Amino acid sequence: MRTAFLLTSLLALTAATTEIFYYADGDSDDAITKCAIDAIRRLEESTTCVRFTENPTEPSLAFTIIHSDECAWQPSNKTVHLGFDCITDNLCTELIGKAVGVDRPAADVAHFVGEKHNCTGPCNGLRCEFGGKLSTSECKCSCAYGFKGDRCETLDRLESLNDASCGVIEAQDAGSLALSTFPGDQAKGVFCQWLVKSADPWDKIELNFDGLDMDNESLPPNVMCNDILTIHGAGDVTTIPCKGAPIVPKMVSTSNWVLVELRTNPWARGAFSGPSIRYNLISRPAGALAFSDGMTSSAVLQSIIPAFAVLLARFL
């Protein structure tokens, strides 16, 4: 198994390399250019078949990086616009991705650039899902809480879920999470996970806590709740307090999925209906920005930019 991986990685190394020419306006010390160049270097390190060459005299430029007021990709003249106020490592990665034809959130750009150019990157293109981390020395995914599988693609404890409402929810637009008994009383000892995910890699999922009728009887000091409601995939893992505790603001997932887990107290005395949570998809994040009419780049820097920018890549 391991040998197979190694062999295919070696084969990938011998595959043709695509050289991509770009023009970067400004020197690599300034923050804007550095953000783009760093993104390019990270991309080169994690793919085996793409090399970027900065070459202002090369006529077949794949893209041009300019200082601008916005962070955006302008397809009509193959320009990456970067502004002081909007650059982040992720956004620069996403815009360089768009410049080479890959429209994905930062974490996935390298994988899909490799796929596009027929190289697979480390570990034969193994990609861990749902927050799993790839160990390149072992070529194995180490999965985040709640997931298992070679790519961390499935819920780890599907067979333990004991309410009909639980499991994977392919979110289209908006919906709600509540136990099947809701608004009636929840059962004791419920173990439920709702994995809400969207097919669009750019979507984020917003959770609104409408009701949190969970077992808060006779709580000893410093104990959150007798029922445990935790959210994974929206920043730090968060345990949501009971009703009666400070109100939870809405939460937004970090990527296109969120895992909500509920464990109800098996020894509960009172009757509770459980949490009632609304979710909705938030589309079109900043990283997906495309340059639109009316946006202008800084005029001073514009004047030194050659007005060419055609073709895509050239093969070695």
Ligand X SMILES: *[C@@H]1O[C@H](CO)[C@@H](O)[C@H](O)[C@H]1NC(C)=O
Q: Check residue 309 for interaction with ligand X (CB under 6 A).
A: yes
Nearer to ligand X, 118 or 136 (CB): 118
Nearer to ligand X, 121 or 233 (CB): 121
| Residues whose CB falls within 8 Å of the CB of residue 154, separated by 6 or more in sequence, listed in order | 147, 148
Q: Check residue 79 for interaction with ligand X (CB under 6 A).
A: yes
Q: How far apart are CA 7 and CA 33, in angstroms?
A: 37
Closest-by-Cβ residue to ligand X is 244
Q: Check residue 219 for interaction with ligand X (CB under 6 A).
A: yes
Nearer to ligand X, 67 or 204 (CB): 67
Q: Check residue 253 for interaction with ligand X (CB under 6 A).
A: no
Cβ 32 to ligand X, closest distance in Å?
A: 14
Token reading at 297: 């780049």
Nearer to ligand X, 178 or 309 (CB): 309
Across the beta sheet with 174-177, the strand order is: 174-177, 274-282, 204-213, 251-252
Which of the 8 DSSP states describes residue 187?
P
Cβ 151 to ligand X, closest distance in Å?
A: 22
Indicate the helix (H) or strand (E) that contains 280.
strand 274-282
Nearest to 178, CA basis, from 119, 109, 229, 254:
229
Q: Check residue 298 for interaction with ligand X (CB under 6 A).
A: no
Nearest to 9, CA basis, from 128, 137, 113:
137
Q: Check residue 268 for interaction with ligand X (CB under 6 A).
A: no
Q: Check residue 60 for interaction with ligand X (CB under 6 A).
A: no
Nearer to ligand X, 118 or 135 (CB): 118
Q: Check residue 117 for interaction with ligand X (CB under 6 A).
A: yes
Angle between helices 89-99 and 31-46 (to 10 degrees): 70
7-46: which residues touch ligand X (CB under 6 A)? 18
SS3 call for 123 = helix
* Residues near ligand X, by CB under 6 A: 18, 64, 66, 74, 77, 79, 117-118, 216, 219, 242-244, 297, 302, 305, 307, 309
